[in-house]
Chains A and B, each alone.
Chain A
Amino acid sequence: KNEVEQSPQNLTAQEGEFITINCSYSVGISALHWLQQHPGGGIVSLFMLSSGKKKHGRLIATINIQEKHSSLHITASHPRDSAVYICAVSRGTEKLVFGKGTKLTVNP
């Protein structure tokens, strides 16, 4: 079993819809990262969080440490949000452990 599990693996939405991507992890962590990768492109760090909630524009990330669960929400989705969203966790000086990613497609 992966240390980091994401769901769903694939997600298709219509423009304007509210989107939620989930991430669960099995061990104690220092921080959880949400990353975005467009097709053929590099990775952009969206959020790093260790508790509570963070918001940036139309993106919101939450984490529940007790339940070992995080969600990434996208409000008013747009075709340019189409990308792979990756959840990763870190502990101390250990390397990042990545989930397998969620491929999001937003249709106009």
Chain B
Amino acid sequence: DTEVTQTPKHLVMGMTNKKSLKCEQHMGHRAMYWYKQKAKKPPELMFVYSYEKLSINESVPSRFSPECPNSSLLNLHLHALQPEDSALYLCASSQEVISSSEQYFGPGTRLTVT
């Protein structure tokens, strides 16, 4: 199984809502990533988890809160988002957090904040 799954595929939320994005992989990878991608732009790294511990936070606003409950799951909790947070949110995983480790991406969650 070389698949990274993400749910939901689409999400519309108001600025006062609380929602969560979920990501799952069963490849035994120990590194998991959240990226944000705006239209016609490359992905921007948000967070990196290595062995279930947060290792990189790219100065992401606190309205985005990541969580790694176990080695297969990665969540992104959303609260009090702004319309400019509307984007495609991509999850990825790799064997380790090193450059020789290929990243596998999920299909993304298309988020719209109204």
State whether the Cβ of A91 lies closer than 8 Å to any Cβ in chain B: yes
Residues of B within 8 A of A86 (CB): 42
A67 CA to B95 CA, complexed, in Å: 29
B78-110 interface code vs A (CB 8 A; 1 in, 0 out): 000000000010101000011110111111101
Q: Please tell me if the beta carbons of A42 and B105 are within 8 angstroms of each other in the complex.
A: yes
State whether the Cβ of A45 lies closer than 8 Å to any Cβ in chain B: yes
Residues of A within 8 A of B104 (CB): 45
Measured between C-beta atoms, what is the minimum distance from A25 to chain B in Å?
Answer: 13
Contact of A30 (CB < 8 Å), options: B41, B56, B100 = B100
Residues of A within 8 A of B110 (CB): 40
Q: Which residue of A lies closest to B106 (CB)?
A: A42
Measured between C-beta atoms, what is the minimum distance from B95 to chain A in Å?
Answer: 11
Jot down 25 A-B pairs with beta carbons below 8 A, ordered by A: A30-B100, A31-B99, A31-B100, A33-B102, A33-B103, A40-B88, A42-B6, A42-B90, A42-B108, A43-B90, A43-B92, A44-B105, A45-B104, A50-B100, A86-B42, A88-B42, A91-B99, A92-B98, A92-B99, A95-B45, A95-B56, A96-B103, A98-B42, A98-B43, A101-B40
Q: Please tell me if the beta carbons of B99 and A43 are within 8 angstroms of each other in the complex.
A: no
Number of interface residues of A (CB under 8 A): 26
Provided the pairs A43-B90, A101-B42 are in contact, do residues A93 and B98 lie with their beta carbons within 8 angstroms?
yes
State whether the Cβ of B48 lies closer than 8 Å to any Cβ in chain A: yes
Residues of B within 8 A of A95 (CB): 45, 48, 56, 58
Chain A: interface secondary structure? loop
State whether the Cβ of A41 lies closer than 8 Å to any Cβ in chain B: yes
Q: What are the 3 A-B residue pairs with the smallest beta carbon separation, nearest first? A: A30-B99, A98-B42, A90-B99
